[in-house]
Amino acid sequence: MDETEVGAYSVFGLTANYQITKNLRVNAGISNLLNKKIYRSNEGASTYNEPGRAYSMGMTASF
């Protein structure tokens, strides 16, 4: 592996959904659960650092 390559790694996430009513569902999630930080040193638009832990929430209503 040369100095511009990043070795293999895993990023874990967790998502939960809950059906409140027949027409309403909520969800929440955490991506990069273990807050793994990977820094890249290559050049170009396709190179980016692992963004760290992120949280999300949502709601779906159907009619």
pLDDT tens digits along 6-35: 678 888 999 999 999 999 999 999 999 999
Q: Is residue 29 part of a domain?
A: yes
Distances, alpha carbon 51 to alpha carbons 19, 30, 59, in Å:
30, 12, 24
Chain centre distance of CA 47 = 17
User: Per DSSP, what are the bridge partners of residue 14?
Assistant: 30
Evaluate whether residue 38 is within a structural domain.
Answer: yes
* Six-digit token string for 60: 């779906």
**Is residue 48 in a domain?**
yes
Q: Quick check: 28 and 56 in contact, CB under 8 A?
A: yes
pLDDT of residue 36: 86
Chain-centroid distance, C-alpha 29: 9
Q: What is the residue range of 40's domain?
A: 14-61
Asked if residue 31 belongs to a domain, the reply is yes
pLDDT attached to residue 12: 93
| pLDDT above 70: percentage of residues in the chain | 76
Could you give the CA distance from residue 12 to residue 14 in angstroms, rounded to a whole number?
7
- Model confidence at 37, in pLDDT bands (50, 70, 90)? confident
Task: Please give the residue that has the higher pLDDT: either 37 or 3.
Answer: 37
